[in-house]
Every structure is written in structure tokens, then in C-alpha cells.
Amino acid sequence: MFASLLAAVLLTAAPAPLDVVKSGNTEVQKIITAKGGTAEQLSKTVDRFVDWGELSKRALGETWDKLTPAQRTDFSETMQGLLRASYAQRALSQGRALVQYGQQSIQGNEATVGTKVIMSRDRLPVQYKLFRAAGKDEWRIYDIVTDDISLLETYQGQFRKIMADKGFNGLLTTLKAKRAQLEKSLE
């Protein structure tokens, strides 16, 4: 009885962070290598593994807490569109990559998965940072560190500079313009 209960619990457990990263990379590679793979297919796949809201919240830092729910939604949707278009453009142009998986490290509701991405002669260390929302089992990616450069930290620095000059509304306008430009280039 206990063995079957334990087996049922293990089978229904959410995938570990390493499994989330492996699964995401496998699905992305299928789209990139498929004849006729599109940016929209790639974006929908990435949406299942990346938490755009969490990335947006962490990128804005303290400013996030000062925003209205409508502003938060607008900002998160803008970031999602911008990053989806940017990622799709880069991934579709680079083509197939070989990914070697390292270790996962879990501390509470935060996790890190190390990989090496091999494209032609380049070997790039890529580290995925994931989190698990309180009360949930699902691990989601919120940051990708490539060759010691964090996507999240890069945006934090850029956002601070823009908000110092233009405020939050200026930042949002800038991001919307960049998103539109990237999305147009994918058409």
C-alpha cells in the first residue's frame, strides 16, 4: 500500500528544474530545425517555460511595488512581446545548437541549471535561473545568464537609467517602440 502511494506521488511530482530546461531546449530545437518553423511557434513554446511576469517584476525591482495592477500588466505584456521577438529572431538565425547539461542546484524556491551551448566552434556557458511560486510545484525560468552576463541584470541596469531620465511611462514607451520594431522585422 505504502509503495503504491509513494509511486503515485513520485509520478505526479512536477518536473525538476533540470528537466524543465531540457524539455524546453528540446522543444525549441525541434522548431528551429523543422522546415517552416516560425517565430510564433517558437514564442508559444518558450511561453510554457519562461515566467515573463516574474522576469518583469524582478527587472523593475522596487518600482514594481509602486505600479497599479494595470501598469504591471501592461509592462509585463510589453516585456513578453519584446523578449519573445528578440529571442525568436536570434534563435531562428543561429540555427541548431548542441546543449550539454550540467548540474542543478536548488535552494528553497530558487534553482539554477548549468549548461554549455555549442554552436560551430563556440562553447558558451549558459545558466538558467528558475523559481517556484509559493504554494506551487511548477518551476519556471526567470533569468538566463550567458557567458556571465545576466539578462535580468542587464535589463535592471538599462531600466534604471531610462527611468532616471524619462520615468516609468518613458520606459514603457521606449520598450513598446523597440517591441514594435522587432516584431516588424520578423514579418
The predicted structure's pLDDT at residue 95: 67
The predicted structure's pLDDT at residue 148: 92
- For residue 97, what pLDDT band results from cuts at 50, 70 and 90? confident
Please say if the pLDDT value at position 94 is more than 60.
yes
pTM for the model stands at 0.84
- Tens digits of per-residue pLDDT, 144-185? 999 899 999 999 999 999 999 999 999 999 999 999 988 887
| CA separation, residue 178 to residues 79, 88, 168, 171, 185 (Å) | 10, 15, 15, 11, 11
Residues 181, 71: Cα–Cα separation, whole Å: 22
Give the count of alpha carbons within 13 A of 6, CB side only: 3
Least confident among 3-7, 41-45, 66-70, 120-124 = 3-7
Domains of the chain (ranges; CATH) run: 14-185 (3.10.450.710)
Least confident among 33-37, 80-84, 105-109, 175-179 = 33-37
Answer whether 80's CB lies under 8 Å from 57's CB: no
Residues 142, 111: Cα–Cα separation, whole Å: 10
The predicted structure's pLDDT at residue 8: 37
- Closest alpha carbon to 12 in 137, 139, 141: 137
Task: Report the chain's mean pLDDT, rounded to a whole number.
Answer: 87
Residues 178, 158: Cα–Cα separation, whole Å: 13
- Tens digits of per-residue pLDDT, 24-56? 999 988 888 888 878 788 888 888 999 999 999
Determine whether 13 is exposed, middle or buried from the number of CB atoms within 10 Å of its CB (0-12, 13-18, 19+): exposed
- For residue 13, what pLDDT band results from cuts at 50, 70 and 90? low
- For residue 12, what pLDDT band results from cuts at 50, 70 and 90? very low
